[in-house]
Amino acid sequence: MGVSSDKNEDTNGEIFFLNTNFEIDINNLYDENSWYSSLKNRDEEIEGIKSLIIEEFNIIMENTKKSLNDYNKNEKFDLSLTFLKDMHFVACTSNSEIKLSEGLIIHYYNFFKGFLKAHHNSYDFDDGIVEMIPIKFILYHEIGHVVHGHIKLLENRKSNNEAISTLDQKSLEYDADAFALSRIFDEYNGVIKNSIDNCNNSEEFKKGFELMLLVLIFEKVILGIVIAFFIIRKPDDFNKFDTKKHPPTFYREVLAIESLKSLLASKINVQKIFADCELTLTKYVGYDDSIMQKFVADILDNIVHVDDIIKNWNERVKYEVKKYSRFPVEGIDFVFEDGKPVLKGTF
């Protein structure tokens, strides 16, 4: 989800995202050898998970194509999906292809499923619709880089010899995350709406039912997002902020909270659910309290950078994205009012 510079030069112009450089080992989460050895002799299971992911990707692509806007029609949109046995990135994207790291993506899937199972009492909405959330988030994030024209923007900057600052890169990552969240929100909101529409009870009952579904489903959505960030989180996330291409995962979480807050309005307490998920997850992997305290202290020390990313997006980057985006751009084409996108008069 970060745009890696080292790999750009030797991949025929392909742009790599989410380069994770697993140099830190926390409970073996980032230990490439232990991951691959744990997957040995499990070919059938791996193929099964891969076909689930391909199925998910096809649905996501179909949904995205349906929602494409008339803007920038000459920017074609079609992507294929391939798996690589390479642990140096989670996902990377060009204008024609998304590549996923087989080892990491299967780890994501198993980690989330294992976590849901371990917390079966509190996470018992077990009909298969939530297991894919972290992977859905990654896929939508990568698709967002394409349909919002980020790749085109970077290519154009490059061909004009214009610099791409790491702050600009971070603003693009912020936008890709926001895109992924809004697509996931739309998808599950559709599931909830269908259930309510098919319900013949009183309006009052429907209201209560809707709230219950919102909490049940979005708790897991938020958990999936927290896990998506958690797996690539590193204790040195906050160091060298200026030179890194993607925001530290905690910032991305703070930004995701803000995005989900505008999508869910005041219906559920997004911030509290994020905090609870973070805490449960910390216990699940047996994190020492001190690791968490250090993260929190680092966030507070550096929180100003979150504003920098948003400010840079709002003041400059969104206008450049608008030139290439196949979707409406928030703040230009529409704004959120009380959880609903309201179109502005620019088109």
- A 10 A CB-CB count for 165 gives 14
Q: How far apart are CA 124 and CA 145, in angstroms?
A: 33
Number of residues that bind Zn ion (CB under 5 A): 4
Task: Tell me if 1 contacts Zn ion by CB under 5 A.
Answer: yes
Q: How far apart are CA 61 and CA 81, in angstroms?
A: 10
Which residues, 155 to 174, sit near Zn ion by CB under 5 A?
A: 173
Least Cβ distance, residue 3 to Zn ion (angstroms): 7
CB of 20 to Zn ion, least distance (A): 11
**Binding residue for Zn ion, selected from 4, 15, 17, 254, defined by CB under 5 A:** 17
What radius of gyration do the chain's Cα atoms show? 20
- What's the closest the beta carbon of residue 141 comes to Zn ion, in angstroms? 6
DSSP-derived 3-state class of residue 330 = strand
In the complex, residue closest to Zn ion by CB: 1
At residue 183, the 3 state secondary structure works out as helix
- Span interacting with Zn ion, options 11-19, 36-44, 208-216, 335-343, rule CB under 5 A: 11-19
Q: Which is nearer to Zn ion, 192 or 317 (CB)?
A: 317
Q: Do 58 and 98 touch, CB atoms closer than 8 A?
A: no
What CA–CA distance (Å, rounded) separates 303 from 282? 21
Smallest separation, CB 129 to Zn ion (Å): 25
What's the closest the beta carbon of residue 142 comes to Zn ion, in angstroms? Answer: 7
Q: Is 324 in the site for Zn ion (CB under 5 A)?
A: no
Task: Determine if 91 is a binding residue for Zn ion (CB under 5 A).
Answer: no
Task: Identify whether the C-beta of residue 89 lies closer than 8 Å to the C-beta of residue 20.
Answer: yes
**Span interacting with Zn ion, options 14-22, 43-51, 156-164, 198-206, rule CB under 5 A:** 14-22
For Zn ion, which is the closer residue by CB, 111 or 140? Answer: 140
Among 250, 233, 188, 220, residue whose Cα is nearest residue 116: 220
Q: 102-118 and 43-67 are packed helices; what angle lies between their axes, rounded to 10 degrees? A: 90
- 40 CB contacts (<8 Å, ≥6 apart)? none
Nearest distance in Å: CB 101, Zn ion: 14
Residue 103, both tokens? 């080892």
Sites for Zn ion among residues 166-225 (CB under 5 A): 173, 176
- Let me know: does 232 contact 20? Beta carbons within 8 Å: yes
Sole window of 9-17, 58-66, 156-164, 197-205 interacting with Zn ion (rule: CB under 5 A): 9-17
In the complex, the residues that contact Zn ion under the rule CB under 5 A are 1, 17, 173, 176
